[in-house]
Structure 1
Amino acid sequence: MHKSATLDRAQWRHNFCVRLFGWSLLFTCLVLLGELLDPALFDPQHQKFVFLVGALGAWRYGNAINHYLRGMYFLHWRFPAMRKAVERLGAAALPSQLFMVVTSFRIPSQTTFNVYQSVFQEIQRLPVPCTVIASIVEKGDEDLIKQIMRREVHERRDIKLVIVRARGTGKRDGLAHAFRALSRQMPSSDAVVGVVDGDTMLLPHCVANAVKFFAYLPNVGGITTNEFCQVEGDKLIREWHALRFVQRHINMCSMALSRRVLTMTGRLSFFRASVVVDPAFIKDVEADFLQHWRLGRFQFLTGDDKSSWFSLMRAGWDTFYVPDSNTLTVEHPPDSNFLRATRQLMFRWYGNSLRQNFRATRLLGVRQLGLFTMYVLYDQRVSMWTSLLGLTASLIGAMLFGAQILLAYLFWVLLSRTLVTLSMLLSKHRVDPLYPLVLYYNQILGSLMKVYALFHMDQQSWTRQKTTLSGGAAGLDQTLNRWTSKAMLASAVSLFFGAVALLLHATQS
């Protein structure tokens, strides 16, 4: 025990010194860049002032500030009041039955052990009958899960295990088989279902913290949870993932204020059992599709969390986020190379978001989504271009008007991202001096991947399962889709550069 504590203190001191050095280096770079700038660039009468702090930049940062303020209000004021009200309900807030659906496919054995151990430990704490439905492919997982149950569950005959053997054709099929098995259990009217990914460990009390809100919010059909991550990789990929979860946390809090959280996270989300056993919901998760005006009809390979959200919205349910229901996700990057790994993950995530975006705005509309949610969805389509505007314009401006333009842009990027990083301290997630650089990396590469995905919506792949879906078309149609996608992408990029040229011309006229 003493030796372990000594090692922990040594590790803490090492991490503290590394972060202190990182923050010192970051602020030193800011000062040096500021010293290199020509003061004339910051004169409000100077023509380039419009270029630096124009209306477009104010709009973009205004959106970010709006989300941040909404998120912090929800996290520090609105949600604590709701939590107190929920706890006053006492045992009446708990459902009469709980079901935990866990899907496992090609997950390392140690991770599987940790995940199921956390699931059984959580339900052991709750005085509620619970059935764990394990959707698996390999026989070895079944033996391991039964062993874990025997080890963790004691004197609880109301805790049961149901094994569902899926075909290994994807997570959607595995979920659909599990949901049908759940339907055969005939859940009660107030029962709740938790859906857990095979690489997500439940932290203490996360189930109780989440499920109690169904009694408090009768129109909420789905609740999603807060995530932390444990990444198998070097420091850069670890901090990249950690930053993503900080940003996710803030945005989830913002959208929860409107009870319009935009995704039912596949890591851990909870649903009313009456929702999950609905054949329409099961069909949405199992065989969701998009009817595209140019690419035709094609199925969703990934994005089951978006499908479940869309099904809830279409049925008139609200969605909610519980920031104190915490999970720990074990992340296995799809590639050892940072650029390739992040590119693959971004293409999958942003492709799912765009497919959902276009369908939701077309089929649901303001009545079911609300004005703010509609605005957020439309802003997602625009932000992929505006995020590239500053870099593109500064590079062209540096070639036309001198390197001071590029220096001013770099200074603004570093200053603004540092301020954003410091603001994240209020999110109750850890921050790192690498975040300003990673934020900008995400902005540029993320925008490029969004633009590419926008014109290639039929291209999908799982990063873990290595299965792909290129679209439902064949032969001539498939070739036509491929070439029209390239032509439309080239046309859109040309129009973008034309808009930047007009903007630069306007600042000089």
Structure 2
Amino acid sequence: MLKRYGRREGIQSVIGPAVFYLALALTIGMSFWPYFYYVKNETLITIGLFAGWRYGWQLTHYVRALIYHFIVYRRLRRKVAEAARDGKFPEHIFFIIPSYNEEPWVSVESFFSIMSELNTIPSRATLVVSTGSEQDDAVISATYQSHPARHKVELVLQRQSHGKRIAMGHALRAVARRYNDRGLDAGSSVTVFMDGDSYLEPGIFTKTLPLFCLDDRLGAVTTNELAYINTRSQWYKDWFNLKFGQRHILFQSHSLSRKVLTLTGRFSIFRSSIVVREDFVRMIENDILTHPLHGKFRFLMGDDKSSWFYLLKERWDMLYIPDTICYSLESRDARFVELSTSLPYRWY
């Protein structure tokens, strides 16, 4: 799996655009300089206030992100490494994985990465996978059966036919039954929410799971995210890299306050004692927004926003782990304009 980021690459990539746009701004400013005298002071003040508000917040997030990355998280990382050496891992890990008609190579890469990472830790696991076809079942089962870690992993396949939220509700109830039957408690189990096209970087569980043994108030964690994009459109790749780069800065800033903006469905880890609650399951299955004029709207997507809101409402702590990466295996290949208009329509 090829990485598409790095400090050196990031610095190199910013030099050219920065020089170009600064030169362009300087040229435009000098061209209009004789006419600034005729602009009313109120106009300049208003524009300046908006700019100060916008870029002031951006600067604040940058400073907070630096504090979290270089001070707070470094201390936390040392504690996690020590806990991992002492074998402080959850007894059991549950996975909830919606995998609907993914391309075979995507499913193979995704589930092989899961099994390989489980092979590096002492925890046992249960994979509850919501699939969309018999082909999905066959590919996932073959990957599971071919891996040497299968002896410590239970695979449960469920067929989803009524939408992602209903499928996740069924998966959560399957987790709740096993959680209660095994007599697990708040400190002995976590549940991973991830998509069927997510690829886990080596070491991801070693850097995240001990956190739940160190902090009883920690409800969930999420990680850095990058995209592996199988497309010929360089603009599409750059767009994703920019999106995830902005997310990386913002989430570190929020994590300084022990909260994050969302617990992404790509890969997030929850304390199992939270996700097996009936009110949590019902919120995932049937989350609604009530508008005073237009009535009730049922969310078809956005399950990660519902889970995040539940933890926020219950005052659980949340953390972002910046040096641990989940890759999104994007197989779409179309024109940039088409993709850049269709994807936000689905997201928002």
Q: Which bracket does the TM-score occupy, shorter chain normalised?
A: 0.7 to 0.9
- 8 Å CA contact 2:94, 2:191 repeated in 1: yes
Q: Distance in 2 between matches of 1:48 and 1:211?
A: 58
The separation in 2 between residues aligned to 1:38 and 1:72, in whole angstroms, is 35
Name the counterpart of 1:403: none
Q: CA deviation at 1:20?
A: 7.2
SS in 1 for 2:258: coil
Given that residues 207 and 325 in structure 1 are in contact (C-alpha distance below 8 angstroms), is that contact kept between their aligned partners in structure 2?
A: no
3-state SS of 1:237 partner: helix
- Determine the structure 1 residue equivalent to 2:163: 170
Match of 1:86 in 2: 80
The answer to whether structure 1 residue 184 and structure 2 residue 182 are counterparts is no
CA distance in 1, matches of 2:275, 2:282: 10
Displacement, 1:37?
3.5
Residue identity opposite 2:191 in structure 1: V
For residues 406-433 of structure 1, give each alpha carbon's deviation from its aligned partner in whole angstroms, at most 9, with x where no partner exists: xxxxxxxxxxxxxxxxxxxxxxxxxxxx
Question: Structure 2 regions of 5+ residues with no counterpart?
Answer: 3-8
- Please give the per-residue CA displacement for 1:233-257, whole angstroms capped at 9, x wherever unaligned: 3000110011100001111111111
Structure-to-structure mapping, 1:10-49, within 5 angstroms: 23-24=15-16, 27-28=19-20, 30-31=22-23, 34-35=26-27, 37-38=29-30, 41=33, 47=39
CA distance in 1: counterparts of 2:256 and 2:141, whole angstroms:
41
Matches within 5 A, 1:36-185: 37-38=29-30, 41=33, 47=39, 51=44, 54-89=48-83, 90-154=85-149, 157-167=151-161, 169-185=162-178
Gaps of 5+ in 1: 1-7, 9-15, 352-509
Task: Tell me which residue corresponds to 1:503.
Answer: none
Distance in structure 2 (CA, Å) of the matches to 1:22 and 1:85: 34
Change (3 A) 1:31 1:298: closer
Identify the structure with the greater strand proportion: 2
More helix by share: 1
1-structure distance, mates of 2:341, 2:306: 23
Q: Residue 81 of structure 2 contacts residue 207 of structure 2 at CA under 8 Å; is this kept in 1?
A: no
Counterparts in 2 of 1:21 and 1:68: CA distance versus 1, 3 Å: closer
Check the 8 A contact 1:135/1:178 in 2, yes or no.
yes
Q: What is the Cα deviation at residue 193 of structure 1?
A: 0.8
Q: CA RMSD in A?
A: 2.7
The structure having more radius of gyration, on CA atoms, is 1
Letter in structure 1 aligned against 2:156: V
Matched residue SS, 2:178: coil
Q: Which has the higher contact order (CA 8 A, sep 6+)?
A: 2
Give me the whole-angstrom Cα distance separating, in 1, the residues matched to 2:191 and 2:131.
18
> Is 1:262 paired with 2:254?
no
1:99 and 1:194 in contact (8 A); partners too: yes
Cα shift at 1:309: 0.7
1:258-337 pair list within 5 angstroms: 258-333=257-332, 336-337=334-335
**Letter aligned with residue 184 of structure 1:** R
Q: Distance in 1 between matches of 2:264 and 2:25?
A: 40
Q: Give CA-to-partner distance per residue, 1:182-239, whole Å, 9 cap, x none.
A: 1121251120111110111111011221111112221111111110101233000110
> What secondary structure sits across from 1:58 in the alignment?
helix
- Is this contact kept in 2: 1:136–1:174, CA < 8 A? no
Contact 1:104/1:136 (CA < 8 Å) preserved in 2?
yes
Change (3 A) 1:263 1:96: same
| Equivalent residue, structure 2, for 1:474 | none
Change (3 A) 1:81 1:42: farther
Q: Which amino acid aligns with 1:178?
A: A
Match of 2:230 in 1: 232
Structure 1 residues 108 and 41: CA distance shift in structure 2, 3 A = same
**How far off its partner does 1:31 sit?**
2.7
Q: Identity of paired residues, percent?
A: 30
